[in-house]
Amino acid sequence: MQCLEAEYRALLAEDVNELDRVLRQKEALLSELAQLPAMAVGRAQGDRARTSAPRKKALERVSALNKRNAMLLVPRAAANRARLHFLQSALGRAAGYGADGAVAQVRQYAGVGQSA
C-alpha cells in the first residue's frame, strides 16, 4: 500500500522520475501478489480461513487506492488526446497508431480513413 501512496504523491506532484521508480516497485509487488493464492495450496483449511480475511481486506484497500490513482490519470489522458488532436489538425494531417504501435499518417478518402 505504501507504493500506491507514493504513486499518488508522484502523480499529484507530476514527478515523472519518482513515478517511474514507484511504478517499477508496484509491478514487482503485483507479481508477488499474483502468487499468493498458489501459496495457500496444501495448507489446512483452518489456516487458510484465518489468513484469508485480513488478506481480502488488504486486497480491497489496494484495489481502492489503485482506482483512486487511476482517476488522477483520466483528465490528464483526455487533455493529452485533445492536445495531440489540435497539433495534428494545425499541421493539416491526422495521425493514428498502426497495429505495431507506430505512428501512421491517416489519409481521408471519400470520408473513410485509411492508413498510409
Secondary structure of residue 48 in the 3-state scheme: helix
User: Which grid coordinates belong to 17?
Assistant: 522520475
Residue 109: the pLDDT is: 43
Residue 12: the pLDDT is: 92
Q: How far is the C-alpha of 58 from the C-alpha of 52, rounded, in Å?
A: 10
CB 65 within 8 A of CB 4: yes
Q: Where are the domains of the chain?
A: 2-115
Residue 112: the pLDDT is: 45
Residue 90: the pLDDT is: 77
Q: How far is the C-alpha of 55 from the C-alpha of 59, rounded, in Å?
A: 6
Residue 59: the pLDDT is: 82
pLDDT in tens, the chain (116 residues): 898 999 999 999 989 999 999 999 989 888 887 776 655 555 665 655 666 778 788 888 989 999 999 998 888 888 888 888 888 787 776 656 666 766 666 554 444 444 44
At position 19, the amino acid (one-letter code) is: L
Residue 97: the pLDDT is: 63
